[in-house]
Chain A
Amino acid sequence: EDQVTQSPEALRLQEGESSSLNCSYTVSGLRGLFWYRQDPGKGPEFLFTLYSAGEEKEKERLKATLTKKESFLHITAPKPEDSATYLCAVQASRDLTQGGSEKLVFGKGTKLTVNP
């Protein structure tokens, strides 16, 4: 069964204090790994998709990386507005005609708080 584990569950940083969030996964063939940001009372907001080990993507202060077993979301010099829950999800590469699915399997998320 596909599984995603995110750590830490919660992280408090001071403004400007860089850090990384971890997403470990087990999946029988990875099609894609997705990072989302979720603010309280809102739906997940798409950030990145990573498809293969070694791939990296950046957006403002965020950089996502991928290995064969885990992904990291690096946050450089965070600001208070980066405070949110960051969700990681995987999608397996099983063929749709062989009973595959496009479903995303989510982790529980990391709640990030950045203090001014």
Chain B
Amino acid sequence: EAGVTQFPSHSVIEKGQTVTLRCDPISGHDNLYWYRRVMGKEIKFLLHFVKESKQDESGMPNNRFLAERTGGTYSTLKVQPAELEDSGVYFCASSYGHFRSQYFGPGTRLLVL
């Protein structure tokens, strides 16, 4: 069974540009989560989808971040415009059912110059 996949694995952009990250959850998982880790800090929650609906977006830092999950399958996280402090590793995770173990993807390493 394929795990959580994320694309791209790395992205280097300039301040002010737009970047879109993609996450494909484990097949059949209805819950999808986005997390990120900035340099030297712990992994922090961004938001949670149940199917195509946003269940919890309390961790989204500001309105430059837009997450979507069309059709309840894959998800995208767009940062527009990117700022220097957005650099970090963005992880996606998925789970089946409520309050179950979350399985993480390999992450997208974002560097904003």
Q: A43-B4, A44-B104, A96-B55 are in contact. Are A102 and B44 (CB under 8 A)?
A: no
Q: State whether the Cβ of A10 lies closer than 8 Å to any Cβ in chain B.
A: no
| Interface positions of B (Cβ within 8 A of A) | 4, 31, 33, 35, 41-45, 48, 55-56, 58-59, 91, 95, 98-99, 101-107
A109–B99 contact, CB under 8 A?
Answer: no
Residue of B nearest to A6 (CB): B42
B42–A36 contact, CB under 8 A?
Answer: no
Question: A interface, how many residues as a size bin?
Answer: 20 to 34
Q: State whether the Cβ of A53 lies closer than 8 Å to any Cβ in chain B.
A: no
Q: State whether the Cβ of A49 lies closer than 8 Å to any Cβ in chain B.
A: yes
Chain A proximity of B47: nearest CB distance (Å)? 9
Contact of B103 among A46, A105, A106 (CB under 8 A): A46
